[in-house]
Amino acid sequence: MKVSGFGTLKKLRFFGSKFKLQPPSGHSLPPKGYDSGVNYYQAPSGHGNVVVNENSERLQLLKPFNPWDGKDLENMLILIKVKGKCITDHISAAGLWLKFHGHLDNILNNLFLTAVSAENDKMKKVRNHLTGKYDTVSQMARHYKSEGVAWVAVGDENYGEGSSREHAALEPRHLGGRAIIVKSFLGFTPDDKISIVGLNDFAPGKPLKCILKHADGKKEEIWLSHSFNEAQIEWFKADSALNHMKAMKKNISKTNNDCPK
């Protein structure tokens, strides 16, 4: 108590008499508002270039993804059907791989590296449906991309759970992945071809139809739930948020240039 009294009165003389502290007064917010920060912001010149050594193993400029062509996604191959949990560490392993954080084409060699394939209960080994040979998931995806073949990955519970890692989303897309379908469906087999149709009517809260084509010619239809809102659907059509913002900026510039002076 004496220490509190000394601290409050800011005096060494303390008589121990009763007193009542007054509530603090003042403005909860600045009367003239907060500083806008405009005076401190230095806009870029608009003439600079970012130069990255093409031989760098740590840095790589990200090339824009191709926008959606307006068509349904049909006859896509299954790259991998994951058995069990598939968290971010299964999709894009951390550890030593993080040194390639700024080089997408290098870090994606860890794609599904520790995920267990439902086809053979093994890691780092999936079957190429074009050649019949086995390889790592990333090498398989590279081959599909080089052949112009779109693919999907099928996951189980807890897909993408864990620490935030943008590479878990970037890597599949960079290698030609078109969709991730999660939570096991008994109808899926690694030999299936998958079509996602009705994309011209893609809307928030409206499930998408998925058609499975089995190797024996039989077909099944399932409905896929999604969490896309209107803005994210526009990102899908542009194939990324950055592509969408770039297109909007071009449209704004064109509108301003077309306005009468």
Segments of the chain scoring below 70 in pLDDT? 1-16, 36-41, 164, 184-188, 253-261
Domain spans of the chain, in order of start = 73-224, 229-255
**Residue 91 confidence (pLDDT):** 93
Q: What share of the chain is helix, strand, coil (3-state, %, to 5)?
A: 30, 20, 50
CATH code assigned to 73-224 = 3.20.19.10
Distance from C-alpha of 49 to C-alpha of 46, rounded to nearest angstrom: 9
Phi, psi of 231 (to 5 degrees): -65, -40
The answer to whether the pTM exceeds 0.85 is: no
Token match 């270039």: residue? 49
Residue 196 host element (H or E) = strand 193-197
User: How many angstroms separate the CA atoms of 172 and 180, rounded?
Assistant: 9
28, 63, 86, 125, 171 from 154: Cα distances, Å: 53, 26, 10, 15, 15
